[in-house]
Amino acid sequence: MKKTFKALKFSAIFLFTFTGFVACDKEFAELDSAVLGKDNANFSTDLYQVPIVSYNKKLESVQVNNLSSYLLGVFNDPAYGLTSASIVTQVTPSTYDPDFGENATIKSVVLTIPYYSRINNYDDEGNAEYTIQDSLYGDYNGSVKPFKLSIYKNDYFLRDTDLDGTTAQKYYSYSDGGSDNLAYNGTSPINFDTQKSTLIFQDDNVIPSADAIVTVTDEGTDNEVTSRSVPAYVATLDNTFWENLILKKEGNIVLSNANEFKNYFRGLFFKAEAIDNDGNMVLLNMASTGANITITYSYDSTVTEGETIEATYTLYFTGNTLNTFVNNITNVTLENGDATNGDKSLYLKGAGNSMAIVNLFENDEAKKNFLDEFRVPEGNSYKKDDDGKFVLNRLINDAHLVIYEDDIMQTFADDGNGNDYSFFDRIYAYDVNNSSPTYDYAIDQTESTTTPFSSKVISLGQRISDEKGNYRYKIRLTEHLNRILLNDSTNTKIGLTLSTNVNYTTNAAIPNSDGAHVTNIPAASIITPKGTILHGSNDDDDDKRMKFKVFYTETNN
């Protein structure tokens, strides 16, 4: 009589340990004889390949506000083309109803927005040396190209809530095929290029630096202090504009509360433009307390005649903030794919452009064949245990998607300057039906909060080269597939997006979602401008075609 497995009887430790043994790409059939000796083994391992369909989904519009970070600059993607990212943001005063004192005069106005950085080393004096490589895009050719930045006063009012007054307002990406910076509020497009007014600042040569920001106070005195802070974009703004905007409004209702201020000063528009059709792009930490506009001013002392006192008034970027994207994708054509037969190539492009969907079963017949192979039959259905779970005659040891990078990406792998264009790329796989991480992601203990590249490497494998020098990714779906087997889960669609931070699992909404049942995408795919091209399930090359491999164990009795 053939033995059956009740999968839930196996401890999580056993499953995790056993999977660790069989997670490599070698044939699992060798495992039983290697461990027990071929003549003594009472079980065997084998491979079952599930027929799948993978296809492209073009993202016409995605949510671009309430993100964790925001892109600024220009990125010339070698596989896709040019993307420009600009920022529209409200600012919030540190205090309301300020008293600036008598004869208040601005001494300086400094804008600071930190880059995402980490300590790379320490110099001989013990000072931290930083790198911003993780969040800087555009040094593919070995040198960072500049972009042009113009900061304008924004005259468009960014609502906190939707028209119903109860739902948080969402802003979405929008394109009319031109070069304007547009967004969509759910009912109509917004052109921020026509909503801008006063030019506040301009920098024709923005090149992010990893140098620490050094600040010296009371220079030349006995009280001189030198402080160092993380790398940031720092700009000195015009005093007159801010004196008229803030200091001269002391006592006015516009500085009395948040609502009045937001309507009075509707924020800033950071417009990025290419220089000679090139540039760089950087991820900004707008939510940091170090991201601010600091107004330093002096006023007359009320104690000592003729003496002035120095003070600061700070504005933070804690209001509504959104990205606008201008995509000039010229190297490929993005369109919705063939959901029935699958696509030859898959296009994953960041900044809210495109993703891929994998149906884990080619059709209903493929799913039934799989269930017939792994479940114990009973009558016209399958046998269940006392807990209502389906009883299995095969135990899944490991199930994963094998995804090869398209050959064209190999030409960008090394530019001759030591820069591997795709080195930090990760593929983020998620449950499309529930807009949530996969079960395998949830139980993956290989998490690094400081280095996302090294995080979740069991469930979302890093990009590696095989023995032939072809790059591939491996997405583990063992637990996800077990849920389908044991519980009849209908979560058979997996979304694939490009990500440079797999720890960031917050969703971004898609307006007017179509019949593909994709209502949300991982926001991490929006805050990277990069793209990759993959071999799909309908590729002619069997060696590189996307596959869903299931390694299993069954008894020999």
Residue 9 has a pLDDT of 41
For the chain, percent helix, then strand, then coil, each to nearest 5? Answer: 15, 40, 45
* Range 367-374 contact pairs with CB under 8 angstroms and sequence separation of 24 or more: 367/492, 370/48, 370/50, 371/485, 373/48, 374/48, 374/485, 374/552
Residue 419 has a pLDDT of 54
DSSP state for residue 464 in the 8-state scheme: E
DSSP state for residue 169 in the 8-state scheme: P
| pLDDT tens figures, 9-52 | 443 333 444 444 344 444 444 444 344 444 555 668 899 999 99
CA distance 442 to 502: 12
245 backbone dihedrals φ, ψ, rounded to 5° = -75, -40
Residue 3 has a pLDDT of 46
Name 504's Cβ contacts closer than 8 Å, sequence gap at least 6. Answer: 68, 452, 522, 523, 524, 527
Q: Which residues of the chain have pLDDT under 70?
A: 1-43, 139-142, 220, 413-420, 513-516, 556-557
87 backbone dihedrals φ, ψ, rounded to 5° = -130, 135
CA distance 277 to 82: 8
Residue 39 has a pLDDT of 52
Residue 29 has a pLDDT of 40
Residue 42 has a pLDDT of 66
Residue 33 has a pLDDT of 39
